[in-house]
Structures are given as C-alpha cells and as structure tokens.
Structure 1
Amino acid sequence: MDSGSCGDQELEDKQRTGQPLRVNGPIIVGAGPSGLAVSACLSELGVPSLVLERSHCIASLWQDKAYDRLKLHLPKQFCELPLLPFPQHFPKYPTKDQFISYLESYASHFDIKPFFHQTVQRAEFDESCGLWRVRTREGLECLSRWLVVATGENAEPATPDVAGLERFQGRRLHTSGYKSASEFRGQRVLVVGCGNSGMEVSLDLCRHNATPHMVVRNTVHVLPREMLGFSTFGVAMVLLKWLPLRLVDKILLLIANITLGNTDQLGLRRPKTGPLELKTATGKTPVLDVGTLSQIKSGKIKVVAGVKEITKNGAKFLDGQEEEFDSIIFATGYKSNVTSWLKGVDFFTEEGMPKTPFPNGWRGDKGLYTVGFTRRGILGTGCDAIKIARDIADQQPRSSSFSRIELQLCVPNNRFCI
C-alpha cells in the first residue's frame, strides 16, 4: 500500500511466523481523525507509514460509540483535517454520518489502509537497536525509528465511582453505548454529566417523552451555538485576532446573557474564569446550546445536584433529595489509555496526557510523537499532525525522487483552538 510500508499479506505473514516487521516510516497507533491526519500529511511529503487500529474500522469512536443525533458542534470549516476540505454541499454543522463519510473519503483520497484488529499491547524503545518495538495482542511485532501515539485523549469511556451503583436494578450505561432516546421512551432517566453530551442526550430524551434529570456537580459555561447569526466559535476566532482573550470572554458572556439569560437561575452556575480562558488553561470546553436550555426553562429537563449515592431504584442527591429512575446514563466523557501500553517513557502524566502543554506536547524523545492530546479538538489535531509530518520528513534522506511539498497550516488562527 502507498501510505504504509507493506501490504496486508506481508503483515499477516510476519504475524504468523512471529518475525518482527521493520517499518520504513513511522508506526501510527490509532486510525481515528488524529492518526488519519498524520498519515495523510506524511504521505503528502512522500513518507510511508503503518497505521495500527484495534477496531474493525477507522474512527471507531464515531462509528461505534457516537449517538445517532450527534452533529459537529462547530462549523465544518473548523473541523476539517489537513489538506482536504469538507464537500461544499455538506451543511454548516455536518451530522455524525456525514462526518464519518468525510473521514472515509479522506482515508481513500490519501490511500490510507490501516491494519485493523491490531490492539497494541506494548510499545517501548529498544536501546539495543535504537528502534521502537511495538507488539500487538494478535501477535504482530513491528520495529521503527518513529512511533506516533494517535490514540488520543478519548480512547476509553470514563465512568466515575458512585456509591451504591451496583445496587441499581435499572439499566445503566455510558454514552458510548447510547444510540437513541427511543429506547428510553416514557422513562425517568438520570443523566450524569452536563457537558455537550449530557446536554444533548437530555434533549434527545426529552423529545422522546422521557423525563431526564441532569446532574450538574460543578460550574459550567453555556454559550449559544450562534451569536447574531454567526458561529460563536467563528466570532471568537475573529475577535481573538484583534483583542485580548479576557476581553473576548467578556464580549461572549455579554451576548450569552442577552440571548440565553442568567443560567445561574437554572442551576447552571458559571465559573468565575471566562470560557476561553478556562478552555486554554484546563481544556474544559464550554457547552454550545442547541435547544437544551429552553427545555430546562420549561421544566421538561430537571437539573439536579450532585449524586450522593445510587439506590436500588434511583438516587440520593447531595441536597438531600431522593428520586426514582428507570435508567442511568453516564455522560462523563472519555480518557486516555496510553499509559497502559506505552512503556519506559516519562512523557505522559498518570492520566495519560503529555506533561508538556499545547502547543509543544507533540514531540518526545527518540522519535516519539503524539497527536490528538491537545484538548483543542480537530484544529489542535491538525496543527500537531502537520508539525509531526514535517519533523519526520526532515529526518528522511533527500533524493531526486523524493517530492517534498511544503504543508501549510490550514487553520485560521492557531492561537486558540476549541
């Protein structure tokens, strides 16, 4: 294959015989948007790569674990991978299926053919040969000068420990297993989490005649998805070109208060730090409202305090209230799993995030790279993918047959990325 170092048959032969496979380019672990972006940028610079993916498809988080009504929260121009825009006929906010279609077209366009059903069990730098040694659970062993960790910050569902959860007799699941509210029609449902997923799942439940109770433990910024007919994110990006971040935050909050009202009165207390400043410092994304607030105002979605414990038939809350529920949905996000398989490096925290913050957390020592760990979405992924491809290409020997194309950053402003 053009984008890899060998074909499927050679990989299968090496796997069957147990012989290590020497990869001419980097080994990329993960075939989500991050892995695809790096492979495409490398391919554009004439550098082959081998993409290993534990699932059966590219972007398995989107294909297997995303709910049906999911749409991109940002306009499509802010969600493009490097070198290939969305089709012009796609709507401003593409649906889940449209985004998957875009990613499949992206992989096809750059002839990216991951080796599927390969779960990396261990990856470490072998000092004896100066190469990265990657072993998969299925028996494949690969060697390369470079290792690109593209499993990202959303590799595994994150479910909090809640006292008494094992006693609950109803259905409980993470949003990674949630598809549609049609399965919960007429039920009383506890939604744990008030981020974008928690808000949208609650809205979906409400529209299918369920009664959602949304747990809000901490402060949260809720902004309208659009301001004055323009994308809130687009407005922020333009303002950041000319104004200090904190002043932009004040403008966004002023418009939000005018359009949405005082969210504190709905049980959604705003943090003291502004939405963009908070995002830059912690990676916590503001919620972009797509209709949930109106249902909270009407009383169809109940906002409840933090959970003290789960009971046999429901939950007790920190404010002393107790309610019965048919189901519990954890909209508590995802976490990195890199520390479970990447060994012998001091690059990541215990939580599996680079110790060096964005925008400098994309490169480690001895040919180690990371992409998809910026907490700044696809824009952050694009920035890192281009840097990684350039850096690896610069280490390749130049030849007359090697076409070195200068990649341009295709983001409008990489000073701030949501």
Structure 2
Amino acid sequence: MTQGVDVVVVGGGQAGLAAGYHLRRQGVDFVVLDAEVTPGGAWQHTWDSLHLFSPAAYSSLPGRLMPTQRGETYPDAGHVVEYLAEYEKRYELPVQRGVHVHAVRRDGARLRVESDGGTWRARAVISATGTWSRPFLPAIPGQDLFAGRQLHTVGYRRPADFAGQRVIVVGGGNSGAQIAADLALDGVDLMWVTQRPPRFLPDDIDGRALFDVATARRRALDAGRGDTGGVASLGDIVAMPPIRAARDAGLLAAKPMFTQLTTTGVQWADGTRAQADAIIWCTGFRPALSYLAPLQLRGRRGHIAIDGTRAVDEPRLHLLGYGDWTGPASATLIGVGRPARDAARAISQLLGARRL
C-alpha cells in the first residue's frame, strides 16, 4: 500500500517530535515513522543512573517546558521518557510506531519512503534517526582473541551486572566518564582508559552554558568570524555530581590507551598487561543514515553535504538532530528546537512554491 503525504519524518525521538511540532505550526500534512514501539526515543534504552546535564527548565522541546523531577536537580532518563511521551500526546503528533524505514528513493517529483509498514510518497523528508542505533567500535588488534565480555555503551545498564569482575572502560568523553564513575562508586574493580588525558569542564558548567557556547560558535562562523572552538575548547567531560565524587575520591585516574587485546585482557606498547573480565567501549556513535543510501548523497568521506539542515544535493531532504553538523547542540533536547523550526519553515516554503 502506497500513501501520499507532504512530509515524512523518519524517527520519533526528540528531534522527530520537535520537527513534528513545527510542521504542525506550519500547517503541513506529515507523518512521523518511528522504529521504537513505545515513546521516548533512545532515552528508554540508557543505563539506569543516567541523568541530564541540565535542569529540567533548560532541557525542553519547543512549546512545552519539561516539568521538574522531585528530588532531582538534573532529571533522570526515565523522567525524559515520560516528558517525551506526554509531549507527543499533548500536540497529537501523528507518530506511527514499530515502523522500520529501510530506504528513501527519488520518485519523480516526490521521494518514496519504503518501510516494513508500507510506502509513502512524500514531497519532503526529515531524517531524525539519531545515532544510538549505530554504535562505533574502533578496530583494535586482538579484538577477536579476548575471551571476556565486550560491550558498547548501548549495552551497559548497572554496576551490579559486573559485581566481582575486573572491568576496563574505554573512552574519555561523557559516557566513558559517567559509566566509569558509576562502576567505581559501586566498588567495581575498574580501570579507565582514554586516548588522551581526560579534560573535565569546570565544575560550575552544565548544559545551559554548553548550549550558549555552541550557539555563539555557530553565529560566529555564520558571520564569517573566527572559530571560537565551541564546547570542545572548554573540555570533554561535564563534571556531573557522581563524576565529581569519583574524581575527588581518586577513583578516576585514567590510563593511556592500550595497543592490543589479549586472551585475558589488554596490552600496551611497552609490553605491560592488565587482565579484565569485561571491556566496555564508550567510543561514540555514527549517524544512522544507511536508509538514505539509494539517494547517493555521501561524498568521498562518507559525509552528506548540508546547508543548515538541508541536503545540498537533494533539497527535499533535511537532516535533524545529529549534533553541531545539523545545528548548534542539535543532538540535545534544548538545542534541537531551532534547527527543527528552520527545517519546517524551509519545507513549508518549498511546498508552497511547488503549489504555485
């Protein structure tokens, strides 16, 4: 069955919902296709102790402030899931769940969106699939030799799963620091390994300031001024309360990156070895864009060229929520609103021009 619609939004997490909010305000006919069977996007799959970097008031989607969570300055992931579910219901966003989109193709004046729930012919598409479903694992010699357990950030839930084990956490970003702190504060035998010495942001910096810094950088670049360096110039790790506690207790002394895995653990270039029962790779993610392959938009480095959120070589396609690449802090709750608004306006103009 093939259906016609003005816009298909692929992904029903925070970016997709923000897009839906602004498309509704533009009076555009749209549908949101989401692979998840319940609301909440990737937030419903995170580890138990995960909290936002910012207070609720600074972690909101357009049109609806996130309520505060009793007893928490920084809301936990469960609170975010509840907020997203309520947001979707409040604005009556047309989300179809359990729908996996596997291809977008050109089809004359429209784009054909193919999924296991049917086919849509759309005048425009917004890609809002995020990165959680595409974890990145670096290629390390001996990876197939290690006899212990290996998992990525997406597979981590709680310290109790590693009781009595020797665990190596790899990664010097926020996820690596948070999971290392989670394990260390629970008494797990931990080794934290990073590519370079950890760079903690000042203790008084949280998501509010980070959004302002990212926005200032984008404005400077758009105005042709010098690159301020943005958030990366401040550090890599937001010093949330558990991280500060573990750091101040001397539990987050990072070791340099090893060069290979062995059957029982890891080894450095000088021959030093360490044993481990489990390795948790907190090594980041890549945009989940494989379903766009039929459009052949990727350049030599596998990157889709965009202007704002619009794909340069396919003006009917917008990409939203993948980080600074698609708007300042656009992978955050507070940061996705503005690029979502811009994408919806651009699409509305495109549709209006084609109806004339």
Which bin holds the TM-score, normalised by the shorter protein? 0.7 to 0.9
Q: Counterpart of 1:134? A: 113
1:349-375 deviation digits (Å, cap 9, x = unpaired):
744x54347xx2345434111111233
**Which stretch shows the higher mean deviation, 284-293 or 365-374?**
284-293
User: Would the alpha carbon gap of residues 139 and 239 (structure 1) be closer, same or farther in structure 2, given more than 3 Å must change?
Assistant: closer
User: Would the alpha carbon gap of residues 225 and 33 (structure 1) be closer, same or farther in structure 2, given more than 3 Å must change?
Assistant: farther
- TM-score, normalised by the number of residues in structure 1: 0.72
- C-alpha distance in structure 2 between counterparts of 1:391 and 1:63, whole Å: 31
The 8 Å contact of residues 84 and 106 in structure 1, kept in 2 or not, is answered as yes
Q: Counterpart of 2:319? A: 370
State the one-letter code of the partner of 2:336.
T
State the shift of 1:394 in Å.
3.2
State the shift of 1:340 in Å.
4.6
State the shift of 1:46 in Å.
2.2
User: Would the alpha carbon gap of residues 236 and 178 (structure 1) be closer, same or farther in structure 2, given more than 3 Å must change?
Assistant: closer
- C-alpha distance in structure 2 between counterparts of 1:342 and 1:58, whole Å: 27
State the shift of 1:238 in Å.
8.8
The 8 Å contact of residues 315 and 322 in structure 1, kept in 2 or not, is answered as yes
User: Would the alpha carbon gap of residues 347 and 383 (structure 1) be closer, same or farther in structure 2, given more than 3 Å must change?
Assistant: farther
Q: Secondary structure at the match of 2:345?
A: helix
State the one-letter code of the partner of 2:56.
K
User: Would the alpha carbon gap of residues 349 and 149 (structure 1) be closer, same or farther in structure 2, given more than 3 Å must change?
Assistant: farther
The 8 Å contact of residues 362 and 384 in structure 1, kept in 2 or not, is answered as no
Q: Counterpart of 1:63? A: 44
Let me know the Cα RMSD of the aligned residues.
3.0
State the one-letter code of the partner of 1:84.
R
1:12-38 deviation digits (Å, cap 9, x = unpaired):
xx2xxxxx2112x20111111111110
Q: Counterpart of 1:314? A: 265
Q: Secondary structure at the match of 1:334?
A: coil
Q: Counterpart of 2:80? A: 99
Q: Secondary structure at the match of 1:26?
A: strand
Q: Secondary structure at the match of 1:111?
A: coil
Structure 2 unaligned residues grouped into runs of 5+? 221-226
User: Would the alpha carbon gap of residues 97 and 349 (structure 1) be closer, same or farther in structure 2, given more than 3 Å must change?
Assistant: farther
- C-alpha distance in structure 1 between counterparts of 2:80 and 2:300, whole Å: 31
Q: Counterpart of 1:391? A: 346
User: Would the alpha carbon gap of residues 197 and 240 (structure 1) be closer, same or farther in structure 2, given more than 3 Å must change?
Assistant: closer
- C-alpha distance in structure 2 between counterparts of 1:349 and 1:110, whole Å: 41
User: Would the alpha carbon gap of residues 54 and 348 (structure 1) be closer, same or farther in structure 2, given more than 3 Å must change?
Assistant: farther
State the one-letter code of the partner of 1:108.
K
Q: 2:66 aligns with which of 71, 79, 86?
A: 86
User: Would the alpha carbon gap of residues 239 and 213 (structure 1) be closer, same or farther in structure 2, given more than 3 Å must change?
Assistant: closer
- C-alpha distance in structure 2 between counterparts of 1:197 and 1:144, whole Å: 37
- C-alpha distance in structure 2 between counterparts of 1:201 and 1:147, whole Å: 36
State the shift of 1:61 in Å.
1.4
Once the two structures are superposed, the pairs formed by residues 253-402 of structure 1 within 5 Å of their partners are: 277=229, 279=231, 286-290=236-240, 291-292=242-243, 294-296=245-247, 298-346=249-297, 350-351=301-302, 353-356=303-306, 360-364=308-312, 365-375=314-324, 376=329, 377-378=331-332, 379-396=334-351
State the shift of 1:117 in Å.
2.1
User: Would the alpha carbon gap of residues 125 and 179 (structure 1) be closer, same or farther in structure 2, given more than 3 Å must change?
Assistant: same
State the structure with more CA Rg: 1
Structure 1 unaligned residues grouped into runs of 5+? 1-13, 15-19, 246-273, 399-418
- C-alpha distance in structure 2 between counterparts of 1:72 and 1:133, whole Å: 37
1:65-112 deviation digits (Å, cap 9, x = unpaired):
x10100001233332111111125564311111111111111011112
- TM-score, normalised by the number of residues in structure 2: 0.84
1:251-276 deviation digits (Å, cap 9, x = unpaired):
xxxxxxxxxxxxxxxxxxxxxxx9x6
1:217-261 deviation digits (Å, cap 9, x = unpaired):
13543113426xxx47438839998xx99xxxxxxxxxxxxxxxx
State the shift of 1:118 in Å.
1.8
